Every structure is written in structure tokens, then in C-alpha cells.
Structure 1
Amino acid sequence: MYEPIRTKSVHSTMAGTASDFPHRTREEELEFQLAGHLAALLAVTDELRAASPSADLDAAAERLAEQVTRLRNGSTPARASGGGDGRLTSLHRRAHALAGRALVVAASRADTAAAILAAERMDAHAAALAEPRELTAAG
């Protein structure tokens, strides 16, 4: 009723056979993910610095850049520049979420320095979101 398969499978399932494409180890994949999350957090931090400069954000950006450089074997991260557009709440929410993702990956790969930095950034952005905003009169 059915014709038997006559060609070899495109999937290499035999033990000991080399595949044609490179694989990353779990550790390499986690390092890659962590570097990406921290680089994204750095970009948002740079946007926040442009919109609302502070010494805390400057220090955080430098620490984030150091960690990304370490994880990328010396390759420095791209840095955002330019003026902020007043979306501080949105930026803090995004930064909080990115820091949370970085924390999960850092904990998974037992990277204490990155985990501490991510947790500190989560706390800072949570505090910024909890601050009462001053109302201004339009007119």
C-alpha cells in the first residue's frame, strides 16, 4: 500500500554522527541569552538617562556595559544616544521586565555578578514606578 522510504533521513539521529550545523552547549546558549537581555536593558537604561539623567542610571549603565562586554568576550555593546521623549513610565516598565528576564537566566547559569546587578535594576525600576508623580496644571 505504501512505498518504503529509500533515502536517508535528513535528521541525524544516530549516536556519534556529526551534524552539518554547529550546536551551542546549554552554557553557551544561556550566556548568549543573558548577554542579549543585559544589552537590551542597557539600551533602555540609556534611553532613561537621556530622558531623566541621574547618577544612579549612569552607574547602572556602566555596570551593564561591563557585564555585556564580559559575556561577549570583550566585544563592547552598542550604546543608545539621543533625547528622551517623556515615556518614563513605559521605559521603567520595559527595563523592569528585561531585568527580570536577565535575572532568571543569570540564576540559571549561576552568574552571581549578573544576577545581583539584574536584581538591583529590578528594584530600582520598581521603585521608580512606585514613586508618586507630581501633577502639573495645564494652561
Structure 2
Amino acid sequence: MYEPIRTRSVHTVTQDAQYPHRSREEELDIQLAGHLSALLAVTDDLALTEAAESIASQIARLRGAPPARRTAGGGRDPEALHRRAHALAGRALVVAASRADTAVAILAAERMDAHTAALDALRLVGAP
């Protein structure tokens, strides 16, 4: 009634696989560098040069090469940018903690604090 299976399952794990494997640490490095790159883009949009340089140095350490940079965008809502940066720094903090990368964890926590303070300042300025 059914035809027998004649090929090996694609789900079979073999020791001599023909494709490269990455370790958990390598995957976390890639994920962390991605979160930091997104944070760098938002930080550049906010024109926070000192913070952007410290983020760029951590990305260069993780990737082994300096990150691509762009000029400040301008014209975007600063409150939305600070919210986005705060969220990205939070994601970076979580990955840095699981990776046990103290330098990035401290940097991410500092960025979260800075963006929280900036959001509070924007609310005070905008409040009647």
C-alpha cells in the first residue's frame, strides 16, 4: 500500500556533515554584534558621538572589524529613537549576560540609563 522510504532522513544527525557548525558562543557573538549594530545606527541618528564610538569599539571587538557607519539621519522623532535605543540596549544586555560579557553588559546598562534619562527629560520639556 505504501512505498518504502529509500533515502535517509534529513533529520539524521551525522558526525561528518558537509556544512559548517557554529558553537553556542559563536552564535551569541553574532547575535550580540547584531543588537549592538542596530543600537549603533540609532545612536548615530541621535548624534551621540561618544556613545556611538564606545558601541562601535565593542562591535569591532566581537566581529574583528570595524562596523559600517552612517551619518546622522536627523528629522526623526527623538522620543521614538530613544525608545528604540532603550529596547535595543535591553536586548544587548540580555545576550551579553548570557554570554558573560561584562564590558558589553555594562555598556548596555549605561545606554539604557541614558535613554531613560533622555526620555524623562523629553517628557518634562513637552509637559505643560
User: Based on CA coordinates, which of the two structures has the bigger radius of gyration?
Assistant: 1
Higher helix share: 2
Once the two structures are TM-superposed, the CA of residue 43 in structure 1 deviates from its matched residue by 0.7
Identity %: 66
Counterpart of 2:42 in structure 1 is: 44
Once the two structures are TM-superposed, the CA of residue 11 in structure 1 deviates from its matched residue by 3.2
1:30 lines up with 2:20 in the alignment: no
User: Which 4+ residue blocks in structure 1 deviate beyond 4 angstroms?
Assistant: none
Counterpart of 1:54 in structure 2 is: none
Normalising by the residue count of structure 2, what TM-score does the alignment of the two structures yield?
Answer: 0.90
Normalising by the residue count of structure 1, what TM-score does the alignment of the two structures yield?
Answer: 0.84
Over the residues paired in the alignment, what is the CA RMSD in angstroms? 1.7
Of 70, 78, 81, which aligns to 1:88?
78
Letter of the aligned partner of 1:68 in structure 2? I
Paired positions, count: 126
1:113 lines up with 2:98 in the alignment: no
Query: Which ranges in structure 1 are unaligned for 5 or more consecutive residues?
Result: 50-56
Cα displacement string for residues 23-77 of structure 1 (whole angstroms, at most 9, x for unaligned residues): 211000000000111111011000001xxxxxxx22211100100000001x111
Equivalents in 2 of 1:47, 1:10: separation in Å?
Answer: 45
Counterpart of 1:61 in structure 2 is: 52
Letter of the aligned partner of 1:59 in structure 2? E
For the Cα contact (< 8 Å) 2:59–2:67, is it kept in 1?
yes
Query: Which ranges in structure 2 are unaligned for 5 or more consecutive residues?
Result: none
